[in-house]
């Protein structure tokens, strides 16, 4: 009887071991696989998120660059204001020259790009191109070319350089209103002007070129 029970127990044990081995050998069912259409949608969503992140990052970089530009403009205006307080408002050509000379002396080490810093250059070029390129910008392009010293024989020749004078009789380009609304606003003493494709920052009170951005405007050919 004991031998029979022992034999039965051994048989049951072998059966359990066999069933365990069979369970281990069976494949574990995987989770539901993504259909190709779902994979496509997921890839598109990931690309949109990536583009949005890049756009947001670029926008923040541009805002930072424009803040830097405005800080440099504010520093110049502070110097301009202090010298006006010392010398008085220039009410004659000689007084204007005296102010320009004083400003140039205080900015003896000034060079191109001190205000139009490298990080803000692409921002200005993008903003200008958006307003001057394309079929809808023909009127703006015509306005841009009117009186532009780079596109008309100058009655008073001059060279664009930092701390150089902007002669009283020199042509003055007209900056299209749409572009003025797009570019960073300037205090009363400063103006944007174009000489050819160069964007020039002019102290209109002193008749002085404060800084300039070469080839700021796209190559404009009106057909």
The residue ranges of every structural domain in the chain are: 64-213
Do the Cβ atoms of 55 and 168 come closer than 8 Å?
Answer: no
Residue 205 structure tokens: 């009170």
Q: Reply yes or no on whether the pLDDT at 9 is more than 60.
A: no
Which residue matches tokens 């005296």?
A: 98
Looking at per-residue confidence, does 143 or 209 come out higher?
209
Q: Averaged over 196-206, what is the pLDDT? A: 93
Count the residues in the chain: 223
Residue 120's pLDDT is what? 97
Q: Over the Cα atoms of the chain, what is R_g?
A: 36
Residue 154's pLDDT is what? 52
Looking at residue 221, what DSSP letter applies?
A: -
Q: pTM value?
A: 0.70
Confidence of residue 40 (pLDDT cuts 50, 70, 90): confident
- Name beta bridge partners: 34: none
Lowest mean pLDDT among 47-51, 151-155, 157-161, 191-195: 151-155
pLDDT of 108-142, one tens digit each?
999 999 999 999 999 999 999 999 887 777 788 77
């Amino acid at each position: 009887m004991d031998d029979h029970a022992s034999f039965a127990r051994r048989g049951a044990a072998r059966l359990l071991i066999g069933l365990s081995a069979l369970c281990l050998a069976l494949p574990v069912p995987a989770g539901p696989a993504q259909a190709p259409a779902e994979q496509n949608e997921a890839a598109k969503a990931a690309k949109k998120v990536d583009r949005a992140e890049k756009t947001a990052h670029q926008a923040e970089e541009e805002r930072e660059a424009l803040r830097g530009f405005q800080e440099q403009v504010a520093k110049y205006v502070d110097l301009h204001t202090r010298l006006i307080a010392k010398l008085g408002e220039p009410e004659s050509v000689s007084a204007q020259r005296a102010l320009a000379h004083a400003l140039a002396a205080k900015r003896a080490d000034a060079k191109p790009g001190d205000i139009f810093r490298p990080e803000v250059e692409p921002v200005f070029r993008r903003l200008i191109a958006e307003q001057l390129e394309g079929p809808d910008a023909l009127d703006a392009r015509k306005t841009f070319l009117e009186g532009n010293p780079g596109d008309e024989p100058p009655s008073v020749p001059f060279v664009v350089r930092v701390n150089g004078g902007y002669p009283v009789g020199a042509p003055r380009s007209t900056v299209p209103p749409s572009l003025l609304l797009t570019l960073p606003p300037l205090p009363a003493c400063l103006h944007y002007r174009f000489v050819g494709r160069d964007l020039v920052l002019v102290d209109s009170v002193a008749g002085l070129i404060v800084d300039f951005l070469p080839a700021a405007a796209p190559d404009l050919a009106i057909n």
